[in-house]
Each structure stands twice: as structure tokens, then as C-alpha cells.
Structure 1
Amino acid sequence: MLQASTRALLIGPVIAASVFLAGCGAAMEPASGAGSAAPRAAAPVAAPGEAVAAGSAVVSDLGAAVDPASLPAGALYRNPANGRDEVIVGNIAHTALLIGDSQSEPQASWPRRALTGLGYDVFFCGKGGTGFVASNGTTGNYVDALQRGDWHLPYGFPPLVLIEGGGNDAKQGASNEQISANADRLITTIKQRYPGAKLAMVGTLGKGADHGGARRAEVDALLGTVAADHGIPFVSVGDWLTRYGLESQLKDSVHMNGEGHRALGELLGDRLAKLGLRLS
């Protein structure tokens, strides 16, 4: 680590803040081979408390340290409490951190719609093809992606963290033991990083065990057990496609079309509200 007097870099292009905040900045780029990720060329290292390079940077002599309140939304900041690069969010007190896969990734996805309906801005950390165990070849699974810096968490203390997923774990054949262990690691990591935040989990969207969704339903139930072990609210969605007649609103075998996202967003928002998770 360089001394605190090292010149820091402040990002040029700034990610605009909105109800669908852009979310975690990628710190890794795809390697040429599938299943691995190669780091970018190293940028100058900033000391804790300084801004760090991200994207197309502009040199700025910021002195010994930076007040994070002076940085624009979207800037990376090296948190002196943990030495990790984190993203400045414009209104962290009204922001829900959403960790998820391709069900959550679209800006108008059903988990994001549910959260915005409860009054939150949304900061998304996730990627299609990932899960508690599953990786998509360029990004690690949830906890590994966060710990190795594929994604950056928001700086500060959001009032809610919502974790969604499990479908890719079912698809890629992850075992119950692997899923439980990594879900436990992720929840423990989030509790340590955001001790004042409420946590909740959403299971694995599916058709139910009696309608061809056996493994997805199993993973959904398994995640419910993990959530119960940690004492956090859980919303089971393992049979929602058939329970609420939403199969006709699938655009493929597992992802919703626009109307499906709207319908599921309302259903999930209602469940989260009943769990007392509306922004106060």
C-alpha cells in the first residue's frame, strides 16, 4: 500500500444515480478461456480514505485523504475501515442493496420493482448466470465475486439488503451442501459489513415440484432453511409461476416478459411489505 500522500485518481465519467442505481462496478475483465477471469492492468493504488481509479480516469491531486461526502455518486472510494473499494451512493439511507442473478439484473426486473414500490432506490450487485455456487465464466458466485472484487458494494449503510437467486445453482448441479455453505458465507459477510441493515432472502423462481420444477423447488426450500437458521425473513417463490398462473408471461423457460415482471413485482412487494420491510 502506498503512503497516504500518494496522488489519487478520481473518476471522470460518473454513474448517474436514479431509482435503478447502476450498481456494482466490475473490477475484472473476461479472460480468453471460459471459467476464469483475469485482472485488468493495475491502476495506481490509493491509500485507505482516497478515491481510486475506475473507468477513464482524470488525475486529481487530492492530498492525504478524501472526504467521501465530497465524491460524486458512482465514484469508487477505498473504505479505511476494511481497505476495500466501494461505490459512493447518492442517498444510501434510502437505498436497498440487491444481490441476485438474471432475475434481478434487468432495470425493470420484478425484484427491483418490488423494492422501488416499497420506497427504496436500488443498488444492484449481481450478474446473469451466477448464484450462491454458480459462476458465469467471467464473474464468480455471489460471495466470491464480492470478496475478490468482481463487484463493489456501496459505501455507507443501506437500510435493507435483499438476496435473490438459486436458479443457476439448480441448473449447474450444485449440491445442497455447496449451496448451504456459500449462502451461509454470504449472509455472514453481509451481516459483518452492514451490521445495522435488515436482511431478507428471496428463493428460486419456479413452477413447483409437481409441474416440472423439482430441483428449483428443492433449492428454494433449502434457501428458506438457511434463512431461518440466520433468523432473517424469507420469501419462497419456488412455485409462483404455476400458483399465480404466470407461465404464459415467460419469455423463455425461466425469465419473465415485461408483464410478468410487473405481476411478480407486485406479488413480491406485497410479501416484503407484510414482513415489515417497507422503507420507514
Structure 2
Amino acid sequence: MKDKQANTDSLVDNKNEQVKNILFFGNSLTAGYGLEDPGSESFPALIQVKLDSLGLGYKAVNAGLSGETTAGGKGRIGSLLKNKMDIFVLELGANDGLRGVPVSQTEENLQSIIDTVKLRYPEAKLVLLGMQVPPDMGGKYARDFNAVFPRIAAKNDMLLVPSLLNKVAGIPHLNLRDGVHPTANGQKILAENVWDELKTIL
């Protein structure tokens, strides 16, 4: 699957135009951790089905990596910008929140990732997938963390999905036994959450 995605810059659509790439850059939520077939059940894969059904010339590239933090993403992003990219979808921060990483550090890392993308592809459209942490992480920490995503989106003129896990987080039958990662049905809802916003810029 990854090898196939790595060559998307050579694909052409039915109008003989180069396929436009959408890079989904995230952690296990994007990678489809725990799914039987992440290549078809993760939310980027489900969005690809929507793109194809509408005859849109886009290729969804899944660059999710389980366990990824914003610090890890900051170090990894450069290697993923070799292929042409038209839309950048950023889904990172949840692991920072679960580990109690200082909010200022998370925000700094997210901004660094975005700056790297802007420098390489200034014309690319940017999308940020909002994350939230539960109140049991501490009321102030949760409030500060949750506020990072709308602030980053506004600062960088990014399209914002307010909460990627909307209608999924905390619902047992939509999550695996770990209570954190969505099931295949949960991923379908994630795909809808993203698609509702993403479709406005395609």
C-alpha cells in the first residue's frame, strides 16, 4: 500500500492531467491502527472511495504512523514532501495530550510542521484535524490543549475540522477494546467528519 502511494505523482486522471495528491499526515488514527484492513478501512482510504465515486482527480496518501507525536512529526515531515502535494491534512497532537506534553511545545511543533509544508508547497491548501483531551488530564490542561487547534488553524488560514473524533470518542461500540482507536465503523464516522469540511475545497 505504501509503495503504491509513494508513486502517486506519476498517476494521471481520465483528462490526462496529473492527479492531485492529498497527504494525510498523522498518527495511529490516520494509519488505521487495529483495523483488519487499514488499506481499505482507514478514514483516508474511505475518503479515496468518495473521491473516486465523484470522479475527482485526487489521490489520498496515507502517511499515518502509529505512536507519532508532534515532535516525531516535525522530524518526519521533510521526507514526505518529495512528491507533489496539493492538499495537506494534519492530524497530530493526540499522543502529546495523552502524555501530558506541555501545550506550548505541541503548538510549536504543529507550527513548525506547517511552516515546512508552506515553504515547500506555498500553494497547497491546508487542513487541520482538531483533537481534544478528556477533562481527567486536568481541567486547565484540557482547555489549553483543546484551544490550540482553532488558534493554529486561524493563524495559518487552515480549514479546521473541529474534532476528528466527534461522535466516536467515548462510544464503546465504535472503538476497539483499548477505548482509544476507532473500529471500522468508527473510521466511517471519522471519514464523514473530515469529508464534511474537505469537500468544500476540492
TM-score with structure 1 length normalisation? 0.56
Query: What corresponds to 1:126 in structure 2?
Result: 64
Whether the 8 Å contact between 1:96 and 1:115 is mirrored in structure 2 is: no
Pick from 135, 143, 152 the counterpart of residue 80 of structure 2.
Answer: 152
The Cα of 1:238 is off from its aligned counterpart by 6.6
Find the aligned partners of 1:109 and 1:216 in 2 and give their Cα distance.
27
Higher RCO, 1 or 2 (CA under 8 Å, sep at least 6)?
2
The Cα of 1:270 is off from its aligned counterpart by 1.5
Q: Give the 5 Å matches for 1:1-280.
A: 15-16=3-4, 21=5, 23=6, 73=7, 88-91=9-12, 93-106=19-32, 107=39, 108-114=41-47, 116-118=49-51, 119=56, 120-133=58-71, 141-147=72-78, 151-156=79-84, 158-204=85-131, 209=135, 218-237=144-163, 240-241=166-167, 246-251=171-176, 252-273=178-199, 276-278=200-202
Larger Rg: 1
The Cα of 1:100 is off from its aligned counterpart by 0.4
The Cα of 1:94 is off from its aligned counterpart by 2.4
Q: Per residue, is there more helix in 1 or in 2?
A: 2
Amino acid aligned to 2:80:
H
Whether the 8 Å contact between 2:150 and 2:160 is mirrored in structure 1 is: yes
TM-score with structure 2 length normalisation? 0.75
Amino acid aligned to 1:249:
L
Query: Which blocks of at least 5 consecutive residues in structure 1 are unaligned?
Result: 1-13, 24-72, 75-87, 134-140
Moved over 4 A (4+): 211-218
Task: Classify 1:199/1:124 alpha carbon distance in 2 versus 1 (closer, same or farther; 3 Å).
Answer: same
Whether the 8 Å contact between 1:167 and 1:216 is mirrored in structure 2 is: no
Task: Classify 1:235/1:213 alpha carbon distance in 2 versus 1 (closer, same or farther; 3 Å).
Answer: farther
Per-residue CA distance 1:57-93 (angstroms, 9 max, x = gap): xxxxxxxxxxxxxxxx37xxxxxxxxxxxxx543463
Find the aligned partners of 1:185 and 1:101 in 2 and give their Cα distance.
17
Query: Which blocks of at least 5 consecutive residues in structure 2 are unaligned?
Result: 13-17, 33-38
Find the aligned partners of 1:15 and 1:242 in 2 and give their Cα distance.
30
* Identical positions, percent: 23
Say which SS state the counterpart of residue 80 (structure 2) adopts: coil
